Amino acid sequence: MTANAERADILVQALYAGLEGNRRAIEDLYADDVRAWTPSLSATTRIELMEEFDRRDDAFSDFDLDAVPLDVGGDFACVEWTVSMTHSGPLTVAEGQVVEATGTRVTLHGVSVAEFRDAKICGLRQYWDEISLFEQLGIVGSDA
C-alpha cells in the first residue's frame, strides 16, 4: 500500500502531467481503467483520458501550479490547488463558440480527489468554477 504522502505526491505529478500534456507521465501515473471526471472532460480509461488531453485546445499556456496536499486516509489523496495561466489561443466554449486569445492572465482554484490502486490513480475527480474562468475572460458578466 502506498502511504498518504506518496499518494499526494503522485496526484501532484498527475496534475502537472495533465497541464503539460505529458503522455509518458500519464501512462506511468494512471491505471489502464481509470475513471476521470472534471468540468471539462470525462473518461473511462487511460486511453480516453489521454485522448481528451490531446483534443484539448491550446487555449492556455504559461502555467503556474500551486498544489497543497490535504491529509486523507484509505486509498485516496486530495490536493487543493491554484493554477494561473495565460489565455494564449482560441478557446472553444458552449455550442462551438470560439473566444480568440486575449492574453489575459487567469487564476482558477480547485480540488482534485484521486482514488488509488497500489501506486496508480484509478479514479480522479476535479472540481473548479468554470464561470469564474469565463468571468475573468469577459465571456460572461461578474453578476452571472
State the pLDDT at residue 57: 65
Structural domain of residue 36, as residue ranges? 4-136
Q: Where are the beta strands (DSSP E) in 57-128?
A: 60-70, 76-87, 91-92, 98-99, 105-117, 120-128
Per the domain annotation, does 142 fall within a domain? no
CATH number of the domain at 118, please: 3.10.450.50
Listed residue (120, 99, 113) closest to 30, CA to CA: 120
Per the domain annotation, does 97 fall within a domain? yes
Per the domain annotation, does 143 fall within a domain? no
pLDDT digits (tens, 9 = 90+) for 56-70: 668 899 999 999 998
Per the domain annotation, does 144 fall within a domain? no
pLDDT digits (tens, 9 = 90+) for 42-57: 999 999 998 887 766 6
The number of distinct structural domains making up the chain is 1
Is residue 1 scored above 50 in pLDDT? Answer: no
Give me 99's grid cell. 473566444
